[in-house]
Amino acid sequence: MEQEPSGVAANFDVEQLLAAVTARPGHLDQQRYCADETGDSAALWCACLRELTTRCRESDVAQFVVNHATVRRLLTLDLSAEKKKKTATKLRVARWDVLAEFAQSGIRALRQQLRSQSGLVLRLAARERFEAREVLAAMAKCVVALASDADRDGSLLDVKRCDDDDDEGDKGDSKDDIESGEDDASYLTLLKQMYVTLSDAALRRALVASLRKLIASKEHVKAAVRAGVLRALLQVAIDDSHATLRTHEQENQDDGTGDDVADNAQPDLMLNCANVLAHVAILVCFTLPAPPPPPPPPAAAAQNSELATAPDSSSELLVCERVVALLLSGVSVAFQEGVRLLQMIVENPRLRALVVGIADLRGALEKAHALAQQHESQTRVLDPYVATLSRQQFDQLRPEIDAFERARGISLVGLPSDPSVGVAGDMSRDSLDTALALATYCKERGNWYFKRGNFPTARGFYRRAISLLRMAQRAREQQLAALRPADVLRQCSAGASVQVQSRSGGAWRNAMVADVESGLVEVIFDDDDTEEAVDPSRVRLRLTTTVLDTYEALEVDCAMNMGKAFAQLHEHERAAECFSHALKVKRDRLGAALYHRGVAHLALHDLKSAQQDLWRANELARPAGDKALVKLVSAAYKKLQALHANKKRMDKRVVKEMMRYLSTVMPSGGAETALGEAQ
């Protein structure tokens, strides 16, 4: 009576099982392993594998398997001799199933041995990943188990494919390896192929969990981008969404209901994509999306009340938010990948309708557009295709964002729509306080966007804060200047800040009120401390010193931050203008502004101006004991010296080239004479 392969395997001892599974299935000695031949050596080999796996749950058997390097022998076993595709698939699936069992084994030594052979696992997977879907599914379970190994030191993504030419089965495979793409294989490319090819929802979720565990650094993110993992995740999600919508439309047509069920679709693959993008954002973005800063003063809150509504939590919107977050990344590779992903969103009507409502999108588009413009004018590392996409997206989506905001009567980022809000009309003390509060809100909101890497939106808030301060100050000063002499006399008191006009009706001088007596105002001039009793008709009130100092400090902070935002976008000329404005307000007594302007001049290769600013910054920082600024200035000086040295080398090269050219067009000795006259 013919015995089943599983029954035969159950009668073997461990040594027999080990010898069987490490032999090629086609070479099994039936007389040795089975008195009643089954006639199916492949089935017997698979049965032996299963039996060995079962027995490995015992620690002594597992240790025996480890001592005989069974994992390595399985990984290097050549199964290509089997000509029948169905049988070959069965053998490969069985091997991957066993490896997956070993990876999840409760015996640490067994897991450790498989972990130590990760390079061989990668090589074997690279060879067999195109064999059959069943093989790929079994392979995926093994890779997921390897990725989830809590005892692993380092990431599976750091493993290199093993290229040991002495292993059994290596000979004669180099051409096949090249044709199958093995040379480009990595665990990332494997995970991507598995996710795209395999449609099992549970397995896809496991693959996503593996990706989130394995991608643990910026370098891993860069590798994932180069492997096209993020684009593959989004494309699969979009394709699945299209297929779901088509299915529902067909069902509606068959039922005759005509209901719109698009909103009822639950695209789990979109959520998978959103989860991976969120994990990547943690590693490469400045900060995660966070709750907004404290609510603005009433004047700003009233016009932006719709911003307080609860956001849509759909997975499609989450994907859009994460893609926009990548556009704000300071990592160039991640930023450029964000541009490519945004293009995929733009080409999908449903996602495009969602993305225009994301607050950070306008700033992200402006950032990408600014970098694309820099790519045109300077030598910068930016893919030409990405630069083209950035300009196209800016032109396409900015009008849609404007229309979205107009339709809802709001600013998505919470920017006050009118600089005069809260400061127009009566410029009382309360109105000045309101303007100051609104400007402070703009600064804080700008700082929040700055920390997220949304520099265009941040500078917009800083600019708005400065405009609010200037308008409030100007309006109040005009109101004070229009007061009648009697009102001036009534509001004057000791210590008040005023301006006094000369007797000839010319220039105004700043002064402080000392006393008011007999209808005259006694003042002390700020410039020379002289005293004079003047008629109220020659006096006009100024804002108090406290108010002026508060306004000045806030304006300087906003100007400095706006300059830093321009510098982050490589718009160094405009950055230098902002730092110059801060220096004008502080009367050139701000070392930090001098340093940052010097760095901007360095970026513009204006070495003379850079040297002047850095020298003055150092002169202010050292007496003040500002060690941090002194250190920054010293580092900038080193860069300045390097640029000077490079400029000298370039000048010598230019002179040599000019001499070479002149020697070809002028008689002997004329080149030196002409060059001397030119100098």
pLDDT at 255: 58
Higher pLDDT, 325 or 677: 325
Residues 6+ apart with CB under 8 A from 575: 563, 564, 566, 567, 596, 597, 600
Element (H, E) at 271: helix 268-284
Least confident interval from 21-25, 120-124, 596-600: 21-25
Helices (H), 294-411: 298-303, 315-327, 332-346, 349-355, 361-377, 384-408
Higher pLDDT, 160 or 362: 362
Q: What is the mean pLDDT of residues 624-651?
A: 86
- In the numeric block, the tokens 């004479």 are attached to 673
- Residue 289 reports pLDDT greater than 70: no
pLDDT at 381: 56
Q: What is the mean pLDDT of residues 279-284?
A: 93
Element (H, E) at 524: strand 520-525
Q: How confident is the model at residue 319 (pLDDT cuts 50, 70, 90)?
A: very high
Q: What is the mean pLDDT of residues 228-251?
A: 83
Higher pLDDT, 672 or 356: 356
Crossing angle for the helix pair 429-451 and 455-481, nearest 10 degrees?
170
Q: How confident is the model at residue 495 (pLDDT cuts 50, 70, 90)?
A: confident
Question: pTM score, two decimals?
Answer: 0.81
**pLDDT digit string (tens) for 243-277?**
776 766 666 665 555 554 444 444 489 999 999 99
Higher pLDDT, 11 or 134: 134
Give the CA distances from residue 569 to residues 393, 457, 461, in Å, rounded to whole numbers and listed in that order: 18, 12, 16
Q: How confident is the model at residue 473 (pLDDT cuts 50, 70, 90)?
A: confident
- Residue 456 reports pLDDT greater than 90: yes
Q: What is the mean pLDDT of residues 186-199?
A: 94
Rg (CA), the chain: 37
Three-class secondary structure of residue 512 per DSSP = strand
**pLDDT digit string (tens) for 560-610?**
999 999 999 999 999 999 999 999 988 878 899 999 999 999 999 899 999
Long-range contacts of 156-159 (CB under 8 A, 24+ apart): 156/118, 156/187, 156/214, 157/186, 157/187, 157/188, 157/214, 157/215, 157/216, 157/220, 157/223, 159/118, 159/119, 159/122, 159/187
pLDDT at 67: 87
Residues 6+ apart with CB under 8 A from 123: 75, 161, 162, 163, 182, 185
pLDDT at 166: 45
Long-range contacts of 78-85 (CB under 8 A, 24+ apart): 78/24, 78/168, 78/169, 79/24, 79/25, 80/169, 81/24, 81/26, 82/25, 82/26, 82/42, 85/132
- Residue 302 reports pLDDT greater than 50: no
Q: How confident is the model at residue 69 (pLDDT cuts 50, 70, 90)?
A: confident
pLDDT at 379: 46
Helices (H), 148-228: 174-179, 187-197, 201-214, 218-226
* Closest-CA residue to 110 (of 139, 72, 162): 72
pLDDT at 148: 85
- Residue 333 reports pLDDT greater than 80: yes
User: How far is Cα 400 from Cα 418, in angstroms, rounded to an integer?
Assistant: 21
Residues 6+ apart with CB under 8 A from 214: 147, 155, 156, 157, 187, 188, 191, 220
User: How far is Cα 555 from Cα 327, in angstroms, rounded to an integer?
Assistant: 29
Q: How confident is the model at residue 51 (pLDDT cuts 50, 70, 90)?
A: confident
- Residue 31 reports pLDDT greater than 70: no
Higher pLDDT, 190 or 544: 190
Higher pLDDT, 395 or 515: 395
- Residue 163 reports pLDDT greater than 70: no
Q: What is the mean pLDDT of residues 66-73?
A: 88
pLDDT at 301: 46
pLDDT at 461: 95
